[in-house]
Structure 1
C-alpha cells in the first residue's frame, strides 16, 4: 500500500489544520496519509528522539514536511527533528522519495519563503524529489475561492491573523482549499513516481 507521511510541528494549531487538509487531499486519491506530529515532549536534553516516527518515515513512499514560520524559519522543535534525521540522511534512507512542504504564519509574508526554502534544501540533501504547489493564484484565474491566495509555488503557505486572546485555531478557507489540492497533487505525483520506479 502506498503511504504518504505528513510530518509537522504545530504550535498554535494552524499548521495542524493545514496538515489535516493535505491528508484529506491525499485520501481523495485513494492513498493512505499518516499524520506524524512533532512535539516538544520528544526533545530531551536538547535532542529530538522518536524511533517510531523515523521508522514510519523510512517506510513511507512520500514525506510532506510542515512547520510554522517563526522568525523567518522553521520552529525550533521541527529543526531538532531535522537534525535527528541526519542518520537517515547518512544512510540515504529517503533517497528518491517524493517530498513537499508547507508552512503557516500570522503575517501575509512573514518570510515564509525562507521556511519553504529550508524544507526543500533539506529534501535535496536527502536526495528526494520535490513537488511544488501547482496552483496558480485564484485571482489570476478569475476565481474568488482563495486558492493559492498568497502566490506560493515552492510549497503551500497559510496565513491567519494572530489570535492574541486564545481560542481555537482557524484556517482561511482559501488556504484550506489550497492544502487539499496540494495533497491531491502530492498523491498523484507519488502514484506516477512509484509506477515509473516499478517499471
Structure 2
C-alpha cells in the first residue's frame, strides 16, 4: 500500500476543503502548511516517508501562495540529497476567478516536482465541454494537469460547488490507483 500525503496551504478554507476531498479519494493523510509557511512538527519526516505527494495551494496573483513558496524553497534540503527522486507528485488549486491563472499554479507545482526528480500524475478526466454541460459537472473548468476549483470571493468554503469537490475526490482516487501500480 502506498503512503500518500496531501500537502497544502489554505488561506480562507477553500483549498483545505479541496485537500480533504483529494485525501478522501486517495486515502491519504493531510499535511497543512501553516499561515507562516511552516510545516508542523514531524511534517518533513511525513514527506520523506511518503511514496506520493499531492500538493495544493490557492492561486494568488497567478501563482502559489507565499506560504507554499516558502515551503518549496525549504524543500531544497530534500532536493540537494535527491531524497524525493522517483516519488509520484500531483497538484490542485482553487481561485476566486473562473480562470484565475490556475494553470500557472499547477505549472509551478509541476516544475517543483520535476526539480525533485518526481513523476507527475495528471487529472486523467475529460473536460465537461458540451453545450449541455452544467457548472457542477466533473472537470467543468477543463484542466488536464491537476484538479482545479473556482470559489467566488464572497463565498465561504462551505459553499464550494459539489462538482469541483467530486472532481478533486476522483483526482485523489486516480493518484492512489497510479501509486498502487507503481508500487506493484
TM range (shorter): over 0.9
Taking structure 1 as the reference length, what is the TM-score of the superposition? 0.86
Count of residue pairs the alignment pairs up:
183
**Structure 2 residues not aligned, in runs of 5+:** none
Pick one of 89, 93, 97 that aligns with 1:99: 89
SS in 2 for 1:186: helix
Q: Does 1:174 pair with 2:163? A: yes
Counterpart of 1:149 in structure 2 is 140
SS in 1 for 2:143: coil
Counterpart of 1:159 in structure 2 is 150
TM superposition shift of 1:184: 0.6
Q: Does 1:188 pair with 2:177? A: yes
Rounded Cα–Cα distance in structure 1 between residues aligned with 2:30 and 2:145:
21
Taking structure 2 as the reference length, what is the TM-score of the superposition? 0.93
Q: Does 1:128 pair with 2:79? A: no
TM superposition shift of 1:143: 6.2
Rounded Cα–Cα distance in structure 2 between residues aligned with 1:49 and 1:84:
10
Larger Rg: 1
TM superposition shift of 1:51: 5.4
How big is each residue's C-alpha offset from its partner over 1:78-101, in whole Å with a ceiling of 9 and x where there is no partner? 100111111001111111011000
Q: Does 1:85 pair with 2:75? A: yes
TM superposition shift of 1:168: 4.8
Task: Please report the RMSD computed on the Cα atoms of aligned residues, expressed in angstroms.
Answer: 1.8
Counterpart of 1:18 in structure 2 is 18
**Structure 2 matches for 1:60-71, cutoff 5 A?**
60-71=50-61
TM superposition shift of 1:139: 3.9
